[in-house]
Amino acid sequence: MTLKLKIFGAALAVASTAFAGAAQASALDQFKAFVADTKSARGDFTQQQLRKTGTGKAPPVSSGTFVFARPGKFIWTYTKPYDQVLQADGEHLYIYDKDLNQVTVRKLGNALGSSPAAILFGSNDLEKNFTLSEAGTRDGLEWLNAVPKSKDTSFEQIGIGLRDGIPQAMELKDTFGQTSILKFHNFQRNPPLSPQQFKFEIPKGADVLNQ
């Protein structure tokens, strides 16, 4: 082997090692950059609970739209297979069931806390509520694991799959051993949003439950 080839081979080995190290850390880097730079967003989603082995058919896929503005303002709208809206104005969370014409109102407070909603909608201080770690590459995405530090949550682990600095999917594993998959589409970062659009208007004739 010539000296030039040896030098090229050594340089390639160093570059490969550096690239592997960068890829290993890329999910966490992408996620931290997303949290720091994304103040608002909108897009579409699909959601499905995975079927446990031997439990029959999988539940139907839900779909809808989302819009959020940090911290604590969001509208998460299910359009299929049923109509439901989860909306927060920074102070209260409203859950509107269109079929029942019923609105449940809760104080937002620390309700986001260690919930999956905190990943997208909460404050930038995620490491206060979650332990974050790399989870490798799968399905063309760089994955990150977020484990809630609080025991007062129904979720054991939240996986976040990223590509090009944007969350593409989330895997939600709850304390009952069930896993739900969220996939995001048409993700728009930092669109201009008005605080007024997060103000929830109680539908006419709706029953209101305060919790």
Q: Is the pLDDT of residue 75 over 80?
A: yes
Residue 178 lies in a domain: yes
CA distances from 160 to 76, 86, 184, 195 (A): 18, 21, 11, 27
Residue 9 lies in a domain: no
Per-residue pLDDT tens digits for 11-70: 323 333 333 333 433 799 999 899 889 999 999 999 998 876 555 677 789 999 999 998
Q: Output Rg (C-alpha) for the chain, integer angstroms.
A: 21
Q: How confident is the model at residue 86 (pLDDT cuts 50, 70, 90)?
A: very high
The closest of 83, 89, 95 to 67, measured between CA atoms, is 89
Residue 182 lies in a domain: yes
Residue 94 lies in a domain: yes
Domain count, the chain: 1
Residue 107 lies in a domain: yes
Per-residue pLDDT tens digits for 176-197: 888 999 999 999 999 999 989 9
Report pTM.
Answer: 0.79
Residue 4 lies in a domain: no
56, amino acid identity? G
| CATH number, residue 54 | 2.50.20.10
Residue 146: φ, ψ to 5° = -125, 115
Residue 64 lies in a domain: yes
Residue 101 lies in a domain: yes
Q: Tell me the residue range of the domain where 28 lies.
A: 24-210
**pLDDT averaged over every residue in the chain:** 82
